Each structure stands twice: as C-alpha cells, then as structure tokens.
C-alpha cells in the first residue's frame, strides 16, 4: 500500500470519528486534546483492523498521534 493510500484511509477513519475537525491542517490532535481518550482507543482499533497491525498502549503517544502525517508514519514503519 502506498503512503497516499494509507494517509487517505487514516483521514477516512478520523472523519468517521469526528467530521467537524480539519485533520489536514491539525498537527496537535493529542496535545490540544482534539481527540479524547475514547477517540484514541477507537482510532487505534480502527487502524489496527484496517492495516492488520497491532498498536500497543506504548505506541499511543503524541509523537505518533498528533497529526495525520505522524499516524501515517507510524503505520508505514509497522509495514516495513
């Protein structure tokens, strides 16, 4: 799967969680609490299912979940 396809899938998942957020420009999803703890659990679960990967509690940190690009990076790393 290409990076752009992964990024689009992640955007779709995020839009399903909260369609009122401009995820393209937001780069502090966790830092600014745009995503609450329930949203993060839902997001991690959906990403795990979509990309057939395991996201551990240690992976749920700001560096991995602050933006669409950081989430995409995390998924890309797991695929390598």
Q: What is residue 63's three-state secondary structure?
A: helix
Give pLDDT, residue 79.
80
pLDDT in tens, 7-17: 999 999 999 99
Q: Are 54 and 74 in contact (CB under 8 A)?
A: no
Look up the pTM and report it: 0.93
User: What pLDDT sits at residue 4?
Assistant: 97
pLDDT tens digits for range 4-55: 999 999 999 999 999 999 999 999 999 999 999 999 999 999 999 999 999 9
Alpha-carbon distance values, 23 to 16, 27, 47 (Å):
12, 8, 16
- Domains of the chain plus CATH, in order, are 3-79 (1.10.1200.10)
* pLDDT at site 68: 97
């Amino acid at each position: 799967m290409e990076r752009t396809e992964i990024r689009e899938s992640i955007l779709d998942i995020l839009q399903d969680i909260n369609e009122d957020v401009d995820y393209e420009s937001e780069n502090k999803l966790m830092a600014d609490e745009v995503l609450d703890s329930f949203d993060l659990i839902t997001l991690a679960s959906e990403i795990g299912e979509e990309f057939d990967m395991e996201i551990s509690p240690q992976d749920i940190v700001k560096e991995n979940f602050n933006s669409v690009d950081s989430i995409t990076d995390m998924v890309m790393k797991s695929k390598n």
